[in-house]
Amino acid sequence: MKKTLKIVLPFVFLVGAVVLSMSMFSAAPRPNFTPPEPPAVVVSVNEAKQQPITFMVGSQGTVSARTRTTVVSEVSGQVVEVSPAFVSGGFFRKGDLLVRIDPRNYQTAMKRAQADVARAQTQVATESALAGYAYEDWKKLRELNEESGGSPSDLTLRKPQMQEALAGLASQEAALEKAQEDLARTVIRAPYDGMVREKIADVGQFVNAGTQIARTFAVDLAEIRLPITQNDLRYLDLTRLRKGGSLPVTLTSQLGRDTYTWQGEVVRSEGVFDEATRIMYVVAQVRDPYSLSSGDYEPLRVGTFVSAQIEGVDGGDLIPVPRHALSRGTTLWVVDEESRIYPTNVDIVRTDESFAYVSGGIDQGDRYISVPIDQPLPGQRVKFDG
């Protein structure tokens, strides 16, 4: 029995000491401990500003000439002269000589036709005189023979011969007109103010009627076909186009290190959607694209690839928000008066390449984070950069 007590008593004392110490620890007052607030995150903010918005519709396209012509020879002959401007890239004015074809054969043909007309005129005059003599003879015969009456026949008055002479004159006059036209066609003149895109014929070359001489285009107007999606099309005032109006458009292009801008007008739509892409084309025009009249801006050359911003319909008073400020499409982080951030969903009317246009969810003067931060938390404190 004594041996058992010697073994158990130390264990009991140990357990009691542990229990006593735990009860004393739990009963002791605990100090108040509040974890430190994370440091404020530096953010960039914008202030919401409501303003009148005119929607812009973006597109891209390649500049082309409105009027393009393949110049062909209407007569045969050797090219004896070309204009100094008759080179690829050369400019010309309406009526300028481009090419002259050897006119000598056509000058000879015109002289022959003139002689044939003169002979035909003489024949008409002769037949007219003979018809007059025939009528006088018929009158004298009727006076001698009082019993004869009635009217003279057409043959008696030489009317068939007169008609034949008149027909011959008309034929020769037509031949003369043809000879004059052929002679005039030996000189090929510019049909408009334009530029030579490709020179095909040159001095010394023999050309036939229908031979291509050059390819040219007019420089009064340049055109750009701009593809518009079905969604963007509703932001364009097509009614104005149907009534003969136009829509302002700004064209830009990067040429080397420089960016150039031109102003133009959208003047028409092509009126049909492409079945494969569901895209409709509108056509923009730029006047004097090569700056020939003023010379104070960079030429808008045919073949240039341009970006376009077309002035669309009035969107009313909206708040433009940079697209990169939004998270998950429609969430904007707003900063309150205590510099704490909270998420809010905004109502977006339209987005373009740079902005979302907001009609609700934030108010005029609200501040919002313009550059998203990593893992933002509601109520998180922020401070502003700059």
Tell me which of 315, 331, 347 is where a domain ends.
315
**Same domain for 328 and 309:** no
Please determine, for residue 15, whether its predicted confidence score (pLDDT) is greater than 70.
no
Q: What percent of the chain has pLDDT over 70?
A: 87
Provide the pLDDT for residue 30.
Answer: 59
Residues in the chain: 386
The whole model's pTM is what? 0.73
Q: Looking at the domain assignment, is residue 90 inside a domain? A: yes
Query: Given this model, what pLDDT does residue 31 score?
Result: 56
pLDDT of the residue at 198: 95
pLDDT (0 to 100) of residue 25? 52
Q: Which domain holds residue 143?
A: 103-185
Bridge partners of 356? 321, 351
Cβ-count burial 342-368 (b if 16+ within 10 Å, e if not): eeeebebebebeebbbbbebbeeebbb
Say if 235 falls within a structural domain: yes
Does 303 lie in the same domain as 227? yes
> Can you give the pLDDT at residue 295?
75
Question: First vs last Cα of the chain: how many Å apart?
Answer: 85
Confidence of residue 144 (pLDDT cuts 50, 70, 90): low
Instruction: Give the C-alpha distances (Å, rounded to integers) separating 274 from 94, 232, 237, 278, 285.
Output: 37, 15, 20, 5, 22
Mean per-residue pLDDT for 314-323?
Answer: 94
Hey, what's the torsion of the CAs at 233, 238, 239, 240, to 10 degrees?
Answer: 140
Position 328 scores a pLDDT of 84
Supply the pLDDT for residue 16. 61
How many structural domains is the chain composed of?
Answer: 4
Determine the pLDDT at residue 282.
96
Q: What is the mean pLDDT of the chain?
A: 88
State whether 257 and 368 are in the same domain: no
Residue 165 buriedness (CB in 10 A; 0-12 / 13-18 / 19+)? buried
- Sole residue written with tokens 């107007």: 221
Q: What is the pLDDT of residue 385?
A: 77
Contact 365, 48 (CB under 8 A): yes
- CA 290, CA 284: separation in Å to the nearest integer? 16
| 145 part of a folded domain | yes
The percent of residues above 90 in pLDDT, for the chain, comes to 64
Separation between Cα atoms, residue 89 and residue 93, nearest integer Å = 13
Answer whether residue 26 is part of any domain: no
Which of the listed residues 315, 338, 368 is the one where a domain comes to its end?
A: 315
| pLDDT one-digit tens code per residue, 206-264 | 999 999 999 999 999 999 999 999 999 999 999 999 999 999 999 999 988 999 999 99
303 and 328 housed in the same domain: no
Q: Is residue 5, in this structure, part of any structural domain at all?
A: no
pLDDT tens profile 122-138: 988 988 888 777 777 77
Verify that 169 and 95 share a domain, yes or no.
no
Same domain, 196 and 89: yes
Is residue 102's pLDDT more than 90?
A: yes
State the pLDDT confidence band at 29, using cuts at 50, 70 and 90.
low
- Segment 280-286 shows an average pLDDT of 96
What confidence tens digit (pLDDT) does each residue in 51-95 have?
999 999 999 999 999 999 999 999 999 999 999 999 999 999 999
CA–CA separation, 133 and 276 (whole Å): 83
Q: Average pLDDT of 367-384?
A: 89
Band of pLDDT at residue 117, cut at 50, 70 and 90 = very high
Is residue 27 situated within a structural domain?
no
Q: Are residues 95 and 198 in the same domain?
A: yes
CA distance 77 to 203: 11
In this predicted structure, what is the pLDDT of residue 27?
55
**Of 324, 310, 312, the residue nearest 354 (C-alpha):** 324
Q: What is the Cα–Cα distance from 276 to 280, expressed in whole angstroms? A: 11
Q: Which of 47, 49, 53, 48 minimizes the C-alpha distance to 317?
A: 53
CA distance 31 to 358: 50
User: Looking at residue 151, what is its pLDDT?
Assistant: 76
Amino acid at 288: D
Are 317 and 283 in contact by the 8 Å Cβ rule? The answer is no
Do 191 and 223 fall into the same domain? Answer: no
- Please tell me the predicted confidence (pLDDT) of residue 267: 96
Statement: residue 12 has pLDDT above 90: no
Query: Average pLDDT, stretch 134-148?
Result: 69
Does the pLDDT value for residue 147 go beyond 60?
Answer: no
